[in-house]
């Protein structure tokens, strides 16, 4: 037997309903903020991620799926979404649009070769967004508000927004030198990963999960201490806008995020929810003013974020949101060959009219078809045999009331629609005196 690859998983029909619900909420919130969907390839030239994400990041050093295609081109399965969106903006000259800022969101699979864990597999899925073309701190706040609104739409509680600023390239360079001098005599006290990061990407030392509470890191100088006047003003305005938007936030002066391209504002959203385990972070992002230019585009500032879809689904489980199965409106039971032909005509007409229909595909006798109908639990059972064909009618049984009446072929669709609407209005959702979700 051939099994799925380690770090991947199947989404079975009973699970995809939760995914569809999450995707529909993402789409609805994105429309409120005027973000449009963009879809980029699942694999790109490896150079895009090496130059975009950064050669010193753990993603590029340890986790990417790289391979040579049959044309000896180096190709990488995308480990994150921002670099591909930036490549598309440059290649399609979207930066020349008169309608700035560009506001895009994406949903799709990403790939990282790391230890599979709860809510994070080697093939995982991200919802991300990018707003591009403006330096205005209002756009930073807009994007953070957008991310925060999504979590509110998912009815998640105990959500925290953590924000910090790394400053521009000059501020980051100044801070890097200060941090190196501070860590040099103490770096041997930290974990092996920190010791490697010290040489290659010292800001990442602050992001260490192992030594996060170590006194060396607690007392380390912070990026905010190295901001120039302009960078401080930018960050202060971001905070004022967040306050105006009533986004609850805390300034986390140690927050740096894990990608090299971030400048200025960085942020994370987290929640203490039982289904998330020890890792509270749901998503995060920040501003990246230099990435477009670094990938051979024009100077074009941007800010964005990404959420792990699996993490969001785990979070949704904690608030016990019931995902209702789609109710089957009609099960049609044909008896005899002519009735089977007519039933396919009827079921097609009803489906084209928006009704969810099912029928028998095993030539079962009437008793067997009734058993199948019980398993499906439709609102109506339609019975058609030779007698009904002769009279141009269908026997319609209401499974709720047990009432069964003949309805002409001509009036069948209208009758069913009116009956379904009447049942929905009468119940208004879940009734106190029945066990069905009738809407």
Q: Could you tell me the CATH superfamily of domain 13-168+228-318?
A: Bira Bifunctional Protein; Domain 2 (3.30.930.10)
Average pLDDT over residues 289-297: 94
Query: Domain 330-427 falls in which CATH fold?
Result: Rossmann fold (3.40.50)
- CA nearest neighbour of 40 among 74, 73, 76: 76
| Digit-coded pLDDT (tens) for 79-97 | 999 999 999 999 999 999 9
Average pLDDT over residues 59-72: 88
**What pLDDT score was predicted for residue 413?**
96
What band does 190 get if pLDDT is binned at 50, 70 and 90?
A: confident
Percent of the chain at pLDDT > 90 equals 66
| Digit-coded pLDDT (tens) for 299-349 | 999 999 999 999 999 888 877 655 556 789 999 999 999 999 999 999 999
Backbone angles phi, psi at 175, to 5 degrees: -65, -40
Q: Where in the chain is the domain with CATH 3.30.930.10?
A: 13-168+228-318
Higher pLDDT pick, 33 / 277: 33
**What pLDDT score was predicted for residue 302?**
97
How do 43-45 and 74-77 pair as beta strands? Answer: antiparallel
Q: How far apart are CA 350 and CA 191, in angstroms?
A: 65
What band does 433 get if pLDDT is binned at 50, 70 and 90?
A: very low
Q: Where in the chain is the domain with CATH 3.40.50.800?
A: 330-427
Instruction: Indicate if the pLDDT at residue 431 is higher than 80.
Output: no
Instruction: Indicate if the pLDDT at residue 426 is higher than 70.
Output: no
Q: How far apart are CA 349 and CA 359, in angstroms?
A: 13
**What pLDDT score was predicted for residue 438?**
43
Average pLDDT over residues 67-89: 95
Q: How many CB atoms lie within 10 A of CB 240?
A: 13
What band does 428 get if pLDDT is binned at 50, 70 and 90?
A: low
| Digit-coded pLDDT (tens) for 362-392 | 999 999 999 999 999 999 999 999 999 999 9
Integer distance in angstroms from the first to the last C-alpha of the chain?
A: 42
**pTM for this model (two decimals):** 0.84
**Tokens describing residue 150:** 């999504």
């Amino acid at each position: 037997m051939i099994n799925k690859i380690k770090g991947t998983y199947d989404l079975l029909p009973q699970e995809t309903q939760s995914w569809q619900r999450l995707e529909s909420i993402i789409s609805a919130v994105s429309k409120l903020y005027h973000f449009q969907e963009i879809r980029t390839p699942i694999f790109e030239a490896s150079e895009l991620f090496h130059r975009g994400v950064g050669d010193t990041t753990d993603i590029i050093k340890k986790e990417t799926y790289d391979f040579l295609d049959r044309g000896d081109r180096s190709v990488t399965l995308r480990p994150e979404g921002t670099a591909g969106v930036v490549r598309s903006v440059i290649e399609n000259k979207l930066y020349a649009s008169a309608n700035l800022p560009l506001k895009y969101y994406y949903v799709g699979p990403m790939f990282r070769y790391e230890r599979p864990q709860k809510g994070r597999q080697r093939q995982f899925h991200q919802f991300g967004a990018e707003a591009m073309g403006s330096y205005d701190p209002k756009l930073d706040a807009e994007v953070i508000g957008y991310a925060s609104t999504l979590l509110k739409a998912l009815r998640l509680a105990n959500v925290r927004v953590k924000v910090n600023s790394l400053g521009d390239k000059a501020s980051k360079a100044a801070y890097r030198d200060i941090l190196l001098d501070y860590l040099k005599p103490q770096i041997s006290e930290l974990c092996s990963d920190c010791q490697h990061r010290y040489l290659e990407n010292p800001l990442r030392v602050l992001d260490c999960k192992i030594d996060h509470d170590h006194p060396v890191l607690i007392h380390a100088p912070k990026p905010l201490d190295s901001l120039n006047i302009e960078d401080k003003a930018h960050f202060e305005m971001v905070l004022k806008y967040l306050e105006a938007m009533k986004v609850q936030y805390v300034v986390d002066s140690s927050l740096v995020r894990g990608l090299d391209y971030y400048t200025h504002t960085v942020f994370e959203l987290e929640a203490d929810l039982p289904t998330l385990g020890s890792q509270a972070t749901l998503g995060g992002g920040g501003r990246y003013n230099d990435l477009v230019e670094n990938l051979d585009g024009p100077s074009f500032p941007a800010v964005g974020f990404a959420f792990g879809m699996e993490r969001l689904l785990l979070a949704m489980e904690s608030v016990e949101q019931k995902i209702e199965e789609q109710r089957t409106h009609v099960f049609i039971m044909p008896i005899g060959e002519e009735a089977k032909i007519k039933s396919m005509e009827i079921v097609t007409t009803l489906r084209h009219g928006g009704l969810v229909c099912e029928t028998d595909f095993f030539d079962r006798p009437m008793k067997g078809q009734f058993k199948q109908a019980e398993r499906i639990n439709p609102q109506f059972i339609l019975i058609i045999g030779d007698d009904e064909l002769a009279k141009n009618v269908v026997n319609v049984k209401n499974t709720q009331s047990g009432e069964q009446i003949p309805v002409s072929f001509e009036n069948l669709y209208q009758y069913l629609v009116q009956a379904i609407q009447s049942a929905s209005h009468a119940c208004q959702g879940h009734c106190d005196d029945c066990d069905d979700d009738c809407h």
